[in-house]
Chains A and B, each alone.
Chain A
Amino acid sequence: MSSETTPSSKPVKSTGLHIGEAEPGCRKVDPILVADGVKRTFGGLTAVDVAHVEVPRGAITALIGPNGAGKTTFFNLLTGFDKPDAGTWQFDGRSLAHVPAYRVARMGLIRTFQLTKSLGLLSVLDNMKLGAKGQSGENLFRSLFPFMWRAQEQEIEAKAVELLTRFKLDAKKDDYAASLSGGQRKLLEMARALMSDPTLVMLDEPMAGVNPALTQSLLDHILDLKAQGMTVLFVEHDMHMVRHIADWVVVMAEGRIVAEGDPHTVMQDQAVIDAYLGAHHDTDLGAAQTSNVEALKELIDDEQ
């Protein structure tokens, strides 16, 4: 099993990304995304409360954490799909606070979704073409005159077909996206995100629901993004995969960043073990609480 999902060549890890100790909120040599005091509450529940975090440029950063840690909410906040109660965050030195989602995408920060959002009744090729930025034919008045956008359309189509070939979806290009399997939709979504030549790609659980055979090709594609100079930030639960491709790991629990570091050391971090297994997983509950139990028993006796 593991020999199937591990590629023959080991990926080259980026190192020396941080300044000083690898601790939660530590500074990076060249951060592309910086978030400060980002907080989001739903009623009484604090979903995200991130004091400070920096994402290193040109590397693959994994955002991990137990269920309900606020990873996806944090993603939504960063990409303008949700509004935080407080906080500032910058992408490439430009503030992203109160910037609508579509403008965030135009700046070069493209995301994918945990539940794939392929556009079912558009062909695979149309899905891809929609991803391209700055299309003159998307203006209502110019759209009436095909000669104003046909040349650009052909360029976009050539690029889309090339990307589809790379993702092995070219045979499907004229089919409805709704006819693709779950894994193929993940591939399509990632390929579509690349149509706009993003600088930062944010993948929300790219491996969820993908079979092991496809996992390998998805992993290679993510490594490929880094090779092409893009920065990747992804949410994932599969620790094997995180260890394999991530250069840097940020761990969230209960809305906060609890640990940061390279994948091998961060797995040993006490805060990470606590986050996943509970802080008291190795303490003997019986011995510590005998006095409480005694008091309870007395209370019950009194009631009777």
Chain B
Amino acid sequence: MIDWIAIFSNAAQELISPTTAAYALAALGLAIHFGYTGLLNFGQAGFMALGAYGYAISVLQFGWPVWAGILLGIGAAIVFALILGIPTLRLRADYLAIVTIAAAEILRLMFTTNTFEAVTGSANGLNGFRGFLSALNPIPAGTYGFGPFQYNEYDWFIRIIAWAVVALGVLFVWLIMRSPWGRVIKGIREDEDAVRSLGKNVYSYKMQSLILGGVLGALAGWLFILPRAVVPANYQTSLTFFIYAILLLGGAATVLGPVIGSMIFWVLLSFFSGFIARAVEAGWFPFMTQVQAGQLRFILVGVAIMLIVIFRPQGILGNKKELAFVK
């Protein structure tokens, strides 16, 4: 018999997990790029890798404090955005897409290569930086919580940090997008020549957008490694595409869409993986092994996302009216 309680409680835990928060924040960065400015950034995984490695390397190798590690990740993301943006933002949108996807892969391969093993840990990545953050934890040791949400003091600490950062990110994006700055950014998405003809420095605005979204991506990369190690294999192109899926699920040009999208994505993923693993165990799918079942969850999530995109193409929080005028 299938343990439905366990499946649902595991799925519910994903609602507040730091990974969900990290994906939400990365998708929020992508919302600035793609949803508001119309920049096709396919290298969000690269920005996340910079945030993660920037933190891990500075606290482990350089012995820097936690805040300095976060700042190094942010600084690296800004430099990365400048390197990507200076040559491509004057060109058509597709060039940025090509350059970002390639640059993110270059970063990942640089973190993987044995040449820098002493610093990056090569394919094994970096581990053991948890103590630096838990030293700052004000929560006394013990297990707290209710229902399915039972965690120890460190797990609560990183959840609180993660969702506080997401909340600040949401507030920040909401503030800038309702301002005249956001109006210029949305104008650039619609037609950058028109905005240029009205006296706005389009290049500078696109650069600001690329940097802001990238910084959110780097912070997301930092949140992502709080409960786990830094492993280069996590920053493959598929990470960027999951984040795109989350963004489209929630609504591309919305502030809360990425958060809702990330929650739905992770709850569904956890639900399907729990359900399939137990169903195979219970003999419901006799034609399938456990290994095959592990892959099936992505297929089911893909189907779920397809259904949403077909029947609600503007995303969950998107504005239906916008679709009436899609070019």
The chain A residues found within 8 Å of chain B, CB to CB, are: 79, 81, 100-103, 105-106, 110-113, 117-122, 126-127, 129-131, 133, 135, 137-140, 143-144, 146, 149, 153, 176, 178-179, 192-193, 195-196
Contact = CB atoms under 8 A, between A and B. Distances in A.
A112 to B, nearest CB: 8
25 contacts: A105-B196, A110-B197, A111-B197, A117-B193, A119-B187, A119-B194, A120-B327, A121-B186, A122-B186, A126-B183, A126-B187, A129-B180, A130-B184, A137-B181, A138-B180, A138-B181, A140-B176, A140-B212, A143-B180, A143-B182, A144-B172, A146-B175, A178-B325, A179-B324, A195-B198
Nearest to A76: B193
A35 to B, nearest CB: 19
A105 B199 contact: yes
Given A122-B190, A140-B208, A105 B181 contact: no
Interface in B181-211: 181-184, 186-187, 189-191, 193-202, 208
A202 to B, nearest CB: 10
Contacts of A130: 183-184, 187, 195, 198, 200
B3 interface: no
B176 A143 contact: yes
Nearest to A137: B180
Contact of B198 (A81, A103, A105, A144): A105
A101 B322 contact: no
B238 interface: no
A127 B182 CA distance: 12
B321 interface: yes
B197 A122 contact: no
A117 B183 contact: no
A130 B321 CA distance: 21
Contacts of B327: 120
Given A135-B180, A144-B172, A179-B325, A79 B197 contact: yes
B303 to A, nearest CB: 29
Contact of B191 (A106, A119, A196): A119
B180 A133 contact: no
A102 B196 contact: yes
B194 A113 contact: yes
Nearest to B325: A178
Contact of B200 (A138, A146, A149, A192): A138
Contacts, number: 106
A176 B212 CA distance: 27
A140 B181 CA distance: 6
B113 to A, nearest CB: 36
Nearest to A133: B199
A192 B200 CA distance: 14
Contacts of A79: 197
B251 to A, nearest CB: 13
10 closest Cβ contacts across the A-B interface? A137-B180, A178-B325, A143-B179, A117-B194, A105-B199, A143-B181, A119-B190, A106-B199, A101-B196, A138-B180
A135 B202 CA distance: 15
Contacts of B208: 140
A124 B189 CA distance: 16
Contact of A101 (B172, B197, B324, B325): B197
Contacts of A113: 193-194, 197
B199 A102 contact: yes
A120 B325 contact: yes
Contact of B175 (A119, A144, A196): A144
Contacts of A111: 197
A106 B200 CA distance: 8
A146 B179 contact: yes
Contacts of B184: 130, 138
B221 to A, nearest CB: 22
B179 A144 contact: yes
A118 B198 CA distance: 12
Interface in B139-191: 172, 175-176, 179-184, 186-187, 189-191
Nearest to A112: B197
Contacts of B187: 119, 122, 126-127, 130
A165 B155 CA distance: 59
B181 A196 contact: no
A149 B208 CA distance: 19
Contacts of A110: 197-199
With a 10 A CB-CB cut-off, give which of B179, B187, B199, B202 has the most chain A CB atoms. B199
Contacts of B190: 119-122
B194 A149 contact: no
Contacts of B180: 129, 135, 137-138, 143, 149, 153
B325 A176 contact: yes
A118 B194 contact: yes
B197 A105 contact: yes
A121 B322 contact: yes
Contacts of A138: 180-181, 183-184, 200
A272 B186 CA distance: 44
A119 B196 CA distance: 12
A118 B325 CA distance: 13
B134 to A, nearest CB: 32
B199 A196 contact: yes
A144 B321 CA distance: 28
With a 10 A CB-CB cut-off, give which of A121, A126, A149 has the most chain B CB atoms. A121
Interface string B286-316: 0000000000000000000000000000000
B62 to A, nearest CB: 30
